[in-house]
Amino acid sequence: MDFFKVLTDFFGHYVIEYKFLVLTGIDGSLLASNRRYQETFPAKSPDIFGEGGKGVFSDLTPDEAVGVKKQLFDDKPKETVWDQEDRDENVISVKWRSFSFYLRGKQYCLKVGTNVSAEGYLRKRLLKIGEEAGVGFWRVDKNTRHVHWSLEVYKIHDVFAQNFAPTLETMGELFDEDDWRELENSIEEAFGKGKPFVHTFAIAGVAGGSKYIEVKGGPEINVKGRIKAVSGTVRDKTRETETEVRYAATSEKLSLAENYTKNLEKTLDHHALVSITDTSGTIIYVNQKFCDISGYSSSELMGQNHRILKSRKHKPEFYKEIWRDISSGEVWQGEICNLNKAGEPYWVYSTIVPFLEENSGTPTHYVSVRTDITEQKNCKQRHDDLMKQALELSRVKNDFLANMSHELHTPLNAIIGYSEMIMQEYFGSLGHEKYKEYIRDIHDSGEKLLGLVDNVLEISRLETGKFEIAPAAVCIGKILQDKYDKFSPVAAAGGINLVVENPDQIDEVYMDEGAVRQILSNLLSNAIKFSLEGGRVSLGLTSNSSGHLVFYVRDEGIGMSRDDIKLALLPFGQVAPAQSRSHDGAGLGLPLCKHLVELHGGKLLIESEVGKGTEVTILVPCNDSSAHTSAVAV
């Protein structure tokens, strides 16, 4: 058994075949060496190891081999450099790494040598070749993550070594974000799995435009078989890539020029209208699809000028532009309306390609490939018509809402006014107490109806952009107190505890007073309406570190799902019937609140869970707001 081959899976094939390997006793006597050592150094010349031997450990057992490898793996090698004469009497420098192990009760040394003279020369030569070839070398150390670049890498990236320090952080600045993520992942895979990689990236050139580079990399393996670094090359392949693109385009054109007569009809007949004309526009070829759409037979079209299909849809300048482009060798693309044999219009999307004479570059024929887009154009026309109708309906709806609100205001004001006079017994006692009860109902219903109309009107004004707010200094403390006074009896009647919280004692804000009152009224009304007996509703005001006023209304009611929240924020949107039919309301409160908050530059946020309650938070940017100590009744 060859002792060195037993260690191949530990050192690797490269080390076994191309490094110097010797086995010595503890006294330095040479017991065995590999072929590379024997071919380089004279067999009987004096050296540091003494005389060599063969057949050492030929009876090595598998368990002994495993034990030797374990000791080598755990040992920390010692390094020395010695100058030795080779067979040609040249002095070379060899760096030796010595590993110590015990076997069968004796201590041995296994030494791995590298010709550092040749290695240094080769390294310099490779760098020189790399510079001449436009190839740069890079390396990333596994433990320190230190990045090394050769000078050519700096040149390729158009940066100066004195101004740019390559690291795994700064390198990302030179690549597109996605490209750098891909390269970084490949480097990490090389560290973790030893997987080599090759990538081509487009980077920004110093003079503008794009530069294409190829990055290759792979793991560096130490003498113990461990990955110690990832290294590779970078080369500028811009010219190569541009040549490949030009070559591909040229090849495609040549292929089309050689094969179009054979494959054009077969490929396009099922989809496109194809025709070929001479430079005067006389038709010399049409496919069957062309005949089917135009209504003409092939014999009726051959020898005719393309003007036979011309419609009056386009101006003369339109056709002049087409002829100007194609006669100069340019491809023209666009939509054309033609007439079929029956005089009916049809639309095509046409690509007209001039075939050019090889030497002069002047057109010899024009090939036109068309797609019938008549149905798409009709659909677009129908879509445009429907859009106009929808816009008109929207305008009519808004006009209707505005007119309806205006027409209802006058009688409602009269109802409420007269009912108030009756309740106040303006003309004397009414007599029976029941009349007052009925009148109170009339008044309450009128107020509700007026509130609904006002909400509808405001929604209409908001949607048409006619609603304006007038922010000013507002005593928010008084508004909070007013809301508590108004809604506390309503909440108490349903067995609900209403509290007002103002921990920062904010007394004055800069907002539209009417909008603030309406927002808080709508939110409190909803919170109480959908709360359960024994629950709690909180109205609060504070500020946050982002410079916002924070209003919140929190309840412990039936709550909403995410889909319910989306529905509740739509005008006239009502949450599921089980949650809404037992309560009045037109579904305008939350949408109106949202609009009013957004007019203040704020946001309305809703967090809710079915069966646990809802919290509506309003964030409004602070603007000339101030805080004063204020007592709010609860």
pLDDT in tens, 524-582: 988 998 888 899 999 999 988 888 899 999 998 888 888 888 877 776 555 554 344 45
Radius of gyration of the chain, Cα coordinates, nearest whole angstrom: 45
Q: Are 16 and 5 in contact (CB under 8 A)?
A: yes
Q: Any idea which of 39-48, 150-159, 346-355 has the lowest mean pLDDT?
A: 39-48
Does pLDDT of 192 surpass 70? yes
Q: pLDDT class for 629, splitting at 50, 70, 90? A: very low
User: Does residue 512 share a domain with residue 607?
Assistant: yes
Share of the chain above pLDDT 90, in %: 30
Tell me, what DSSP letter sits at residue 269? Answer: T
Does pLDDT of 476 surpass 70? yes
User: Does residue 340 share a domain with residue 389?
Assistant: no
Q: Which of 341, 372, 403 is the last residue of a domain?
A: 372
Q: What is the pLDDT of residue 243?
A: 87
Q: Which domain holds residue 214?
A: 134-236
Q: Are 75 and 101 in contact (CB under 8 A)?
A: yes
Q: What is the pLDDT of residue 9?
A: 66
**Taking the CA of residue 228 as centre, how many other CA atoms within 13 Å lie in the half-sphere pointing to its CB?**
6
- pTM score of the predicted model: 0.35
Domain count, the chain: 5
Look at residue 629 and tell me if it is in a domain.
no
Look at residue 515 and tell me if it is in a domain.
yes
Share of the chain above pLDDT 70, in %: 76
User: Does residue 61 share a domain with residue 7?
Assistant: yes
Q: pLDDT class for 603, splitting at 50, 70, 90? A: very high
- Within 168-237, residue ranges assigned H as helices are 177-193
User: DSSP labels for 156-171?
Assistant: HTT--TTT----TTGG
User: Does residue 528 share a domain with residue 417?
Assistant: no
User: Does residue 510 share a domain with residue 596?
Assistant: yes
Q: What is the pLDDT of residue 46?
A: 36
The H or E element that residue 91 is part of is: strand 91-103
Tell me, what DSSP letter sits at residue 531? Answer: P
CATH number at residue 390: 1.10.287
Q: Which of 433, 463, 493 is the last residue of a domain?
A: 463
* Helical pair 476-493 and 513-529, crossing angle rounded to 10 deg: 20
Residue closest to 513 by CA, chosen among 550, 466, 479: 479
Give, in order, the Cα–Cα distances in Å from 602 to each of 43, 465, 519, 551, 597. Answer: 91, 17, 13, 11, 5
d(CA 338, CA 349): 11
Q: Which of 236, 258, 281 is the last residue of a domain?
A: 236
User: Does residue 551 share a domain with residue 500?
Assistant: yes
d(CA 538, CA 216): 64
Q: What is the pLDDT of residue 584?
A: 54
SS3 state of residue 575:
coil
Q: Any idea which of 225-229, 479-483, 501-505, 564-568 has the lowest mean pLDDT?
A: 564-568
Look at residue 124 and tell me if it is in a domain.
no
Per DSSP bridges, beta strands 497-501 and 363-372 are unpaired
Q: Are 279 and 364 in contact (CB under 8 A)?
A: yes
User: Does residue 279 share a domain with residue 227?
Assistant: no
SS3 state of residue 482:
helix
User: Does residue 544 share a domain with residue 410?
Assistant: no
Please, which residues have CB within 8 angstroms of residue 499's CB and are 6 or more apart in sequence?
536, 537, 538, 539, 634
User: Does residue 139 share a domain with residue 112?
Assistant: no
Look at residue 274 and tell me if it is in a domain.
yes
Residue closest to 550 by CA, chosen among 629, 619, 489: 619
d(CA 158, CA 207): 10
Q: What are residue 285's DSSP bridge partners?
A: 276
Look at residue 243 and tell me if it is in a domain.
no
**Rounded to the nearest 10 degrees, how much is the dihedral formed by the CA atoms of 564, 565, 570, 571?**
90
Does pLDDT of 631 surpass 50? no
Q: Are 559 and 610 in contact (CB under 8 A)?
A: yes
User: Does residue 501 share a domain with residue 525?
Assistant: yes
User: Does residue 597 share a domain with residue 491?
Assistant: yes
The 8 Å CB, 24+ separation contacts for 174-180 are: 174/203, 175/201, 175/203, 176/201, 176/202, 176/203, 179/203
Does pLDDT of 605 surpass 90? yes
CATH number at residue 580: 3.30.565.10
Q: Any idea which of 157-171, 190-204, 223-237, 251-265 has the lowest mean pLDDT?
A: 251-265
Tokens read off for 87? 């067979």
Look at residue 195 and tell me if it is in a domain.
yes
d(CA 14, CA 12): 6
Look at residue 421 and tell me if it is in a domain.
yes
CATH number at residue 175: 3.30.450.20
pLDDT in tens, 334-358: 999 999 999 999 999 999 999 998 8
Look at residue 630 and tell me if it is in a domain.
no
Q: What is the pLDDT of residue 128?
A: 64
User: Does residue 307 share a domain with residue 228?
Assistant: no
Between 289 and 459, the higher pLDDT residue? 289
Q: Which residue has the tokens 């005389």?
A: 51
